[in-house]
Every structure is written in C-alpha cells, then in structure tokens.
Chain A
Amino acid sequence: MPELGRAALVVCFGLALYAVGAGFAGAHLRRRRLALSAQNALVAAFVAAAVAAVVLLAALVRSDFSFTYVSSFTSRDLPLTYKITALWGGQEGSLLLWLLVLTGYGAAAVLLDRKAGRELVAWVVPVLGIVAAFFSLLVVFVASPFKTHLAPDDGLGLNSSLQSPYMQAHPPMLYLGYVGLTVPFAFAMGALLSGRTDERWIVATRRWTLAAWMFLGIGQLLGAKWAYEEVGWGGYYAWDPVENAALMPWLASTAFLHSVMVQEKKGMLKVWNMLLVVLAFSLSLFGTFLTRSGVLNSIHSFTEGSIGPWFLGFICFVVAASLVLIFRRLPLLRSRTKLESLASREATFLYNNLLLVALCLTILWGVTFPILSEAVRGESVTVGRPYYDFFLRAFGLPLLLLMGIGPLVAWRRASLRSLARTFLWPFVVAVAAGAGLIAAGAGSSVPGLIAYTFAAFVAATIVLEFARGTAARRALSRESIPVAFGQLVARNRRRYGGYVVHAAIVLLAIGIAGSSAYDTSRSARLAPGQSLKVRDYTLVYRGLRSSRAENATETRATIDVFRSGDRIATMHPGKNSYPVEQQVSNEVAIRSDWLTGEDLFLITEQVNRNGTIDFKAIVNPLVNLIWLAGIVFLLGSLVALWPDAREERRLAVRYGRLPQEA
C-alpha cells in the first residue's frame, strides 16, 4: 500500500506546515485556541508519520519488492529481524525514522511540558513544526521511501556489515540522540521568541537534553562495539567522519549540560548556553547531512545527490536565524553576576566548556577540511588519525584532569589552603598510581601513563566525594552508612549521577589508553599445524571448515589457543560470503578475559586456495573497560534523569503551579 504511506506523509507535511503557521499566529496574536490547534497538529503529525512508518515496515516484513526501498535493502533470505532493521538501512527509511522520532519527541515535549507555561510552549510548537516540515518535505518530494517499480524476483539485500545485533540498536539510539536535541533547541528558540529568557526553558528541557545526550553516548558505544566485532580491523574507533558526526553533538551537549548548571546557580553564561544549544542542534543536523547526503564519498555525489543541497540550506537557515534571534535578544540575556575567581567551580566549568568546544570544533574542522578542499581546490585530501589523536591528547587529557579538579573546588571562590586540603588525597593517589605504573613498565607510552595518572586522580576524587558526602550526612542524621549513602544520592541525583558518569569516563579513558597505547599485534601466513606467538599466547592453526547459514556461506579457521603450555580455548575467526549481496565480511573471533579486561582478537584476513590463511592476532589490554563504561554511563545517566519529587515540587511552587503553603 505505497499510496497510504504517501498519503500519510503528505498529511504529515501539511500538519507540520499548519503547526508552523497557526503556531506563530497563535503565539503572536496570543490566541489560545489557535495555539492549541497548532499543538494538536504536531501531535497529529506524529500519528501520520507513525502510519507511514508502519506501511513501510509491513512492506519490509512482507518482502513487497514493488517498493523500490524494500528491493534495494532486503532480500527474501534476509532474517526477519534484519528486514525490520532495514527501515534505517537506507537514506529514505532513515529520514522517515528521523521524522517519526522528531514528531514523537515534539508531541511528547509539548504535552508533558505544558506546565512550562502556555506562552512559552506556544512559541515552541512552530519551531518544532519548522523542523518537522523540513523532514516531511524531504520524504514527500525529495527522497520518498514509497517509490514503486516493477517488482523484481528478489531484492538486493542488506549490506552485510549492517547484519549485526549492534546495528539493530546503534542507529535508533543515535537518532533518539540527534533528534532529541531538537527539543532543547526548540525551547531555547521559544524562550527567545517569547522574550521569556528566565530559567523556565532550561527547567523544561533539562531531562530532554540529558536523555538525548545519554542516547547519543550509548549509540556511539554500540557503534564502537559494532565496529570492533563486525568491521574486523581490531579497533573500535577510526575517527571516521560518520563516527565523528555523532561525537560532535555529544561534545557540544556535554558542554551545555555543564554550563547550564552555571546559569542555574549563578545566572551567568546565558548567551553561551544559547549558543551551545544552537551548536548541538546544528551539529546533529550536520551529522545527518554527513551520513545521508553522500558528501563523504565525494563532493560530486553531494551535488548530484538529492538531499545534500536541501540539508545544507536548512542548516544555514537554522544557524543564521538562531544567531539573529540571539543577537536581537542580547539585552535580555545579560548576566548580572560575574566570575568571582579563576579558582572556583564555575571557572572549572568554563575551562571544561572551552576544552569541549575546542575539541568539538577541531573535529569539525577535520571533517569539513577534506570536503572544502575538494570543493575549492578540486583536490581530495584526507585528515588522518594523527591529527585527531593529537587534539584528543591536547584537549582530552586536560579535560580528564578537570573532571577530577571540578568537584573539589567550591562555588564562588576557593582559597589555596582549601584547595591544598581537598586536593591532598587525590594527588597522593595519582602520584602513587603513576609511580606504580612506571615501576610496572607502563612508561613506554607517555600519553598512556598521563591518562592513567589523571584517571587515578579523578577516581580518587569521586570516591572521596561519595565518602565525604555520606559522612557529612551521617553526622547530621545518624543514619547507617547504606541509608546515608542512598539518601545522599537520592537527594542530589544530578550531582551524584554526574559523578557516576565521571566514573564511566574514567573507565573509558583507562580502556582507550590501555587498548591503544599498550596493544600488541602480530601477522603471519599460516599453514595447518603452524603457530604464531603473541604476548604470552601461542596460537596454533588447525585447518578450515565451511558451512551454509541462512543467507551466507561461513568459512572458519580453527585456532587452538595456548597459554603457559595449557590449551585455554579454541577460536574460529573466518569470513562470511553473502551471495545475494555479493559481499564478503570479516568474522573475527574474540576471547575476553573479564578478570583483566584483556581481549585476544583474531582475524582471518585472507583464506588462500592452498589452505593457508593470512592471519592477524591482536592483544588489546583493558579494552573491555570501554564496554563496562557504557553500562556505568547508562546507570549514572539514569540516576541523574530519575525524577525528584522534592525538586518538582519546589519548581512548581516557584512557577506558581502550586500555592505557597502558609
């Protein structure tokens, strides 16, 4: 039923346009009913987008190859789960998912945040409507997922690298993150348009921003895990523009999440926060543009492609309109307070912001430079790993250190004496860790050693913060340690959830430093019976076997793994051959040691006709801490996200939704 899908998208487009027109008119003329009608249009647009998505999903599941999209990204043999995930396997489906998530977020935000004030929400609706109208325009007129053709016998299949469980979760997570950043953007613009630049927009969007940021973070880690297990080169992050596309808005929103606390506590950085919201949203659009326009393949495919110019135009419009609006509202955004000291919590947040934005813009330059170079000079250049690694160390290591320093410094100002006392134990732990690591032979990589030392400093800070907080609470309440600890976290969820997230970043830093600075790699051509030594592992190649899977032929090498003379495992790295897709994928074998966090990573790079294999083995120390960091990150984010009834009540009293009790 492609007609129904098309009709639903046309209805969605019309509703989004109506939400823009009626929304602006209702807010400007202060007509309550018109504003409500625009709000309803946004909700109805979500329903229409959901109908379109259901139509496409049904066609994918039924293998209705009369849909061009279905025949382009699925085949009859493709397992059902991958037929479903093919919804975001191609450009048109991805844009439809964007639209669906966007209208869903928009409807939920305006319905749930009505308490933010009708006047503010009235201005938020048309801003959300503009973004929804843009994406529905794309799927109606430019890249429709409902194009039809004479149905072929079978489809072209799904790219083999996308046939992974991680790919089932990674793109939706990223979309929930990218699109989620529309909500704080829309509320920020709504605040500027309405002239209500008080904290209400921040209060209304606090959780949306945090949720979008969490989804972006988890999405990236899932992508890294997918790259590690599926792409088969032994790493998890290659500074690929597509990966950077998700990292940039995450960095910008991380900066925003920190600087917004300074606005809440001190009433400062109002203009900066607006700029960060615009930057984060624009980068989320830019990320979608990068991955969907074809510009990464070649500047020519961008100009020849259908959606690239539209996207670029829309990004320019968003940036220009937002900056004009911020400029016009500058008098309302002036701070009445100033930074009192360079040694204060707010100052450390400022340093953290400068480093995060610097890292973000450096990555942006690395991504755009090859595109600009090709457009201007006609030369294709590559910005490689050394560029990104340099700036990651230059900005990332100080950021890591600041994560430990910030919580130890008081708001407003801190004297040297206070600083000396609070820094003492983390400093001692860091120095001891550094000295211990040098003694253990970790001095071979200076950046790795610095990262570990800083990580020890941050870890000590976090432990100290929890311990001192619990002790202070116990001194007042005489509670038991677990109760005092629980109450401490429950009553300061954002702060202590944030510390848990910091712990996740520490694990991430240790995992990245361990696996990139201290890894060992060996390659060899092996005949059956021959062996290869890597670190304390001896790998013996026994032979090859092949089998037929649902939609692929699987070839696997058998490798016996010995350590200290004992056989500890048999591993099967190999390759899959997909006849329909005419692709071959690397199927690596990984043995994780959960006690040490180390991975033995085996790759069969090539299977030769004479039965030999070109074989590569990598030992990645501590790499599993990266995945553990994902779990801790999720936990910390959920703690910070969890609703706090006391806080809600306090805000309700502040904003007059609850009467002040006599």
Chain B
Amino acid sequence: MLTAALVLGALLAVAAVVFVARPLVRGGADEALETPDEAEQRRLALAEERDRALAALKELEFDHRTGKVSDEDYRALVTDLRHAAADALRALDRGTGGTMSTDASNPGSTIEPLPPGAPEPPIVPEPEPVPHEPPGPVIVPEPEPAPHEPPGPVIVPEPEPAPHEPPGPVIVPEPDPQPPPRE
C-alpha cells in the first residue's frame, strides 16, 4: 500500500512538472508578453470614456421615458451628456486614426457622415433597442417632433477638418434641445 501510494505520488509530481514545463520547452522563440503600448492604452481609455458617455445618454433617455427625469431636467442634462459623448467619439476617432466610432449599445454600428444635401435627422441616444430593429446607426428619428420644435442636435461632418486631423464625424449638440415627448 505504501509503495503504491509513493508511486502514485511520484507520478503526480512528474505529471505536474511536465505540465508546468510544457510552455517552457516548446520549440520556437519566447515571445514577449503582450503589453499594450501607450497608444493602445489611450485607445482603451477613450473607448471606456465613449461607452460611459453613450451609456449615460441611454440611461437618461430611459429615465426620461419612465418619468424619472422631468422635461426640465432632461433638457438640462442632455446637452452636457451629448457634449461628453461627442468629445469622446471625436477623441477616439482622432486617437485611432479616423476609425469610425462604435455605438456602445449597438456594437458594429457606426456613425457616418451624412451625404451632402441629405436632411439632417435629429439624434437621440438609442433608448431601449427594439428587438425587431436591425442593428444600425444610433441616428434614429425623434418620434414625431412637434412642428414648432427647433431641430434637434444633428450629426454633421466636421466642416473644415484641420489638416493633421483625420476626417471624422462629430455630434454637434444643439444649444437648447427639446426633450422628446415622454410616453
């Protein structure tokens, strides 16, 4: 019994050593551990900032729809949040060499410049994605805007991009946006 136990113990030790040593003895060069460079770390920080800003817009929209945020509060908060989202998107686009920004709540979607002459739809953050809607850009028409309402914030291409800046879309917040009607 003692011998069997010792043999099993030794086998366990050998198996452990083999398993642990396997990555060390495998052929080929020992590549360095992937560590993000400064640019990648900056991209990540900006991506987190962007997600945070877009999530905050989404949350505000949902809170407004559920009556938790009044129209006045909505108006007061949405401008700042749109500024923050626009800043984050712009910074990310610059930081990633002009890569299109991804909507936090809808991966894969992009915010693209509108074609010249196209009507400028108002933008609201995606409130609660509707299941049958195909994944698409965050530009969704405001539900039945009142005729007297000034146009909401729009997505427009940056008018005169600085030469060193990659062309990228920006969200220009309207100074005094009207809240979408609450359900």
A residues near B (Cβ < 8 Å) are: 1-4, 6-8, 11, 14-15, 18, 26-27, 30-37, 40-41, 43-44, 47-48, 51, 117-119, 122, 196, 198-200, 264-267, 408-415, 417-418, 421-422, 465, 468-469, 471-473, 475-477, 479, 487-488, 491, 646, 649-650, 652-656, 658, 660-662
Q: Are A27 and B20 in contact (CB under 8 A)?
A: no
Q: A187 to B15, alpha carbons, bound, how many Å?
A: 28
CB contacts (< 8 Å) of B23 on chain A: these are: 33-34, 36-37, 40
The answer to whether B48 and A198 have CB atoms under 8 Å apart is yes
Is B16 an interface position by the 8 A CB rule?
yes
State how many angstroms separate the Cβ of B167 from the closest Cβ of chain A: 15
**Given A198-B45, A199-B48, A32-B16 contact (CB < 8 Å):** no
Cβ contacts under 8 Å, B131 to chain A: 477, 479, 487
Complex contact A472–B5 (CB within 8 A): no
> How far, in whole Å, are A122 and B33 apart by their CA atoms in the complex?
9
Q: Mark B111-145, 1 if CB is under 8 A from A, else 0.
A: 00000000000000001111110000000000000
A3 and B2 CA atoms in complex are apart in Å by: 7
Question: Which one, B4, B63, B72, B104, contacts A410 given CB within 8 A?
Answer: B63
- 7 A-B interface contacts by CB (under 8 A): A8-B12, A51-B12, A118-B34, A198-B48, A408-B68, A475-B65, A660-B108
Name the residue on B nearest A203 (C-beta): B48
Assembled-state Cα–Cα distance A465/B62 (Å): 11
A652 to B158, CA, bound (A): 29
With A26-B33, A198-B41 already in contact, 9 other A-B pairs whose C-beta atoms are closer than 8 Å:
A3-B6, A7-B10, A47-B16, A413-B77, A465-B66, A477-B128, A653-B107, A654-B47, A656-B40
CB-CB contacts of B30-70 with A at 8 A, as 1s and 0s? 11111110001101110111011001100110110111111
Report which of B5, B19, B36 forms a contact with A40, defined as CB distance below 8 A: B19
Assess whether A7 is in contact with B13, with CB atoms less than 8 Å apart. yes
Q: Does B22 make an interface contact (CB < 8 A)?
A: yes
> In the complex, how many angstroms separate the beta carbon of A465 from the nearest chain B beta carbon?
8
B22 to chain A, nearest CB (A): 7
Q: Is the CB of A30 within 8 A of B33?
A: yes
User: Least Cβ distance of A490 to chain B in Å?
Assistant: 10
List of B residues within 8 angstroms of A118 by Cβ = 33-34
Please report the C-alpha to C-alpha distance between residue A30 and residue B36 in the assembled complex, in whole angstroms: 12
Q: How far is the CA of A356 from the CA of B40 in the complex (A)?
A: 38
Distance between Cα atoms of A266 and B128 in the complex (Å): 20
B16 to chain A, nearest CB (A): 4
CA distance A4 to B132 in the complex (A): 60
Contact A654 B51 (CB under 8 A): yes
Q: Which residue of B lies closest to A407 (CB)?
A: B68
Q: Does B183 contact A (CB under 8 A)?
A: yes
A44-B16, A119-B34, A477-B130 known; A1-B4 Cβ under 8 A = yes
Please determine whether A650 and B44 come into contact, CB atoms closer than 8 angstroms: no
Do A18 and B20 touch across chains, with their CB atoms under 8 A apart? yes
User: In the bound complex, do residue B33 and residue A32 qualify as a contact, i.e. CB atoms below 8 Å apart?
Assistant: yes
Q: A37-B21, A37-B23 are known contacts. Are A1 and B1 too (CB-CB below 8 A)?
A: yes
B162 contacts A by Cβ under 8 Å:
no
Which of B49, B67, B107 neighbours the largest number of chain A CB atoms within 10 Å of its CB?
B107
Give the 6 A-B residue pairs with the shortest CB-CB distance, closest first: A7-B9, A475-B183, A661-B108, A3-B5, A36-B23, A468-B66
Q: Do A267 and B52 have beta carbons less than 8 Å apart? A: yes
A468:B9 contact, CB within 8 angstroms: no
Given contacts A3-B6, A660-B99, A662-B110, contact A410 B60 (CB under 8 A): yes
Q: Which one, A3, A265, A655, contacts B9 given CB within 8 A?
A: A3
Residue among B13, B22, B41 facing the most chain A CB atoms (10 A cut-off): B13
Question: Is the beta-carbon distance between B108 and A653 smaller than 8 angstroms?
Answer: yes
With known contacts A31-B33, A36-B23, A267-B52, A7–B6 Cβ distance under 8 A: yes
CA distance A652 to B44 in the complex (A): 12
Contact B130–A650 (Cβ < 8 Å): no
Q: Which residues of the other chain, B, contact A421 by a CB distance below 8 angstroms?
A: 67, 70
Q: How far is the CB of B129 from chain A (nearest CB, A)?
A: 7
Nearest-neighbor residue (CB-CB) of A653 within chain B: B107
**Cα distance A14–B20 when bound, in Å?**
11
Number of contacting residues on B, CB 8 A? Answer: 67
B99: min CB distance to chain A, Å? 6
Are A417 and B70 neighbours in the complex by a CB distance under 8 Å? yes
A462 to B80, CA, bound (A): 29
Complex Cα spacing A363 to B59, Å: 36
A414 vs B76: C-alpha distance when bound (angstroms): 10
Q: What does the 1/0 interface line of B157-169 toward A look like (CB < 8 Å)?
A: 0000000000000
Report Cα–Cα, A628/B139, bound state, in Å: 46
Q: Assess A417 versus B60: contact at CB under 8 Å? Given A43-B19, A48-B16.
A: no
Contacts of B31 in A (CB 8 A): 32
Residues of chain B within 8 A of A488, CB atoms compared: 128
Q: How far is the CA of A18 from the CA of B21 in the complex (A)?
A: 11
B residues less than 8 Å from A40 (CB atoms): 19-20, 22-23
- Contact residues in B for A662 (Cβ distance below 8 Å): 100, 110
Report Cα–Cα, A221/B22, bound state, in Å: 45
Q: How far is B31's CA from A35's CA once the two chains are assembled, in angstroms?
A: 11
Which residue of A is nearest B51, CB measured? A654
B178 at the interface (CB under 8 A from A): no
> With an 8 A cutoff between CB atoms, is B146 at the interface?
no
Q: Which residues of B lie under 8 Å from residue A26 when comparing CB positions?
A: 33
Complex contact A4–B5 (CB within 8 A): yes
Q: Which residue, of B67, B69, B77, B105, has the highest number of chain A Cβ atoms within 10 A?
A: B69
Decide: A198 and B44 in contact? CB cutoff 8 A: yes
Q: Which residue of B lies closest to A267 (CB)?
A: B52
Given A3-B5, A7-B6, A411-B56, do A32 and B68 touch, yes or no (CB 8 Å)?
no
Q: Which of A36, A119, A418, A476 has a CB less than 8 Å from the CB of B128?
A: A476
Shortest Cβ gap from A37 to chain B (Å): 5
CB-nearest residue of chain A to B1: A1
Residue among A118, A267, A654, A662 facing the most chain B CB atoms (10 A cut-off): A654
Q: How far is the CA of A469 from the CA of B173 in the complex (A)?
A: 27
Do the beta carbons of A655 and B44 come within 8 Å of each other?
yes
Name the one of A1, A265, A479, A655 contacting B55, with C-beta atoms under 8 angstroms.
A265
Bound Cα distance A51, B104 (Å): 46
- Contact partners of A487 in chain B: CB under 8 A: 131
A160 to chain B minimum Cβ distance, whole angstroms, is 33
The answer for the CA separation of A8 and B12 in the assembled complex, in Å, is: 7
Whether the Cβ atoms of B20 and A15 lie closer than 8 Å is: yes
A661 interface neighbour in B16, B47, B107, Cβ under 8 Å: B107
Contact partner of B30 (CB less than 8 A), chosen from A32, A199, A410, A411, is: A32
Residues on A with beta carbons closer than 8 Å to the beta carbon of B73: 410, 413-415, 417-418
In the complex, what residue of chain A is closest to B40 when comparing beta carbons? A656
Measured CA separation A409–B63 after assembly (Å): 9
Q: How far is the CA of A11 from the CA of B10 in the complex (A)?
A: 9
- A7 CA / B26 CA spacing, docked (Å): 28
A residues within 8 A CB of B129? 491
Distance between Cα atoms of A340 and B15 in the complex (Å): 58
CB distance from B174 to the nearest CB of A (A): 19
| B62-109 contacts to A (CB < 8 Å) | 62-63, 65-70, 72-73, 77, 99-100, 102, 104-105, 107-109
Give the distance in Å from the alpha carbon of A199 to the alpha carbon of B46 in the complex: 12
**With A411-B60, A413-B77, A418-B68: A34-B48 Cβ-Cβ less than 8 Å:** no
Which residues of A sit under 8 angstroms from B12, Cβ to Cβ?
A: 7-8, 11, 47-48, 51
CB closest residue in chain B, given A36: B23
Q: How near does chain A come to B30, taking the closest CB pair, in angstroms? A: 5
Q: Which residues of B contact A2 (CB under 8 A)?
A: 5
